[in-house]
Amino acid sequence: MRALVAPLAEQRVLLQKEAVAYYESLGDFIVAERDGEVVGCGAVHVLWEDLAEIRTLAVSSSVLGQGVGSRILQGLVERALELGVERLFCLTFETDFFARHGFSVIEGQAVEPEVYLELLRSYDEGVAEFLDLERVKPNTLGNTRMLRVL
């Protein structure tokens, strides 16, 4: 997964993560393989009782346009539903892709002020990005905040 994400992180399309972050969140991921090679991945990470984030959705250039990303996203949506999540958030440059899958652009926060204060206690950098904290702004410049109600 790291090898798949690395070129996209260099292009600043996805955020670069340390190896430990992949191991810590391995259970959040779904992967697509072709001939034993990972050609796509994506994660769903629960942020709050009714809210999860789609993270690190990446597809190899060798399979772009073949529906791999859509199948991964559908699997992540199904996993979110199994977990009882009602809303999915993403931070993305790929607004057309996510819009085709039911996501809408949002402004501001997707949580109530009380939940926002609770989430501020998280050490997860993804949560900091979700909260749009000033310290992560250089990592998220140009990204669009989107939400899907399940």
Q: Residues 134-148: pLDDT tens digits? A: 766 555 566 898 999
pLDDT above 90 as % of the chain: 59
Higher local confidence (pLDDT), 132 or 53? 53
The average pLDDT across 102-128 equals 81
Amino acid of residue 131: L
Q: What is the CATH number of the domain that holds 59?
A: 3.40.630.30
Most confidently modeled range among 13-17, 88-92, 95-99: 95-99
Look at the chain and report how many structural domains it folds into: 1
| pTM score, whole prediction | 0.86
In DSSP notation, 132-145 reads: T-GGGHHHHTT-EE
The whole-number pLDDT of residue 149 equals: 97
Residues spanned by the domain of 5? 1-149
Q: Using CB atoms within 10 Å of the CB of residue 107, give its burial: 0 to 12 exposed, 13 to 18 middle, 19+ buried.
A: exposed
| CA 11-16-20 angle, 5° bins | 160
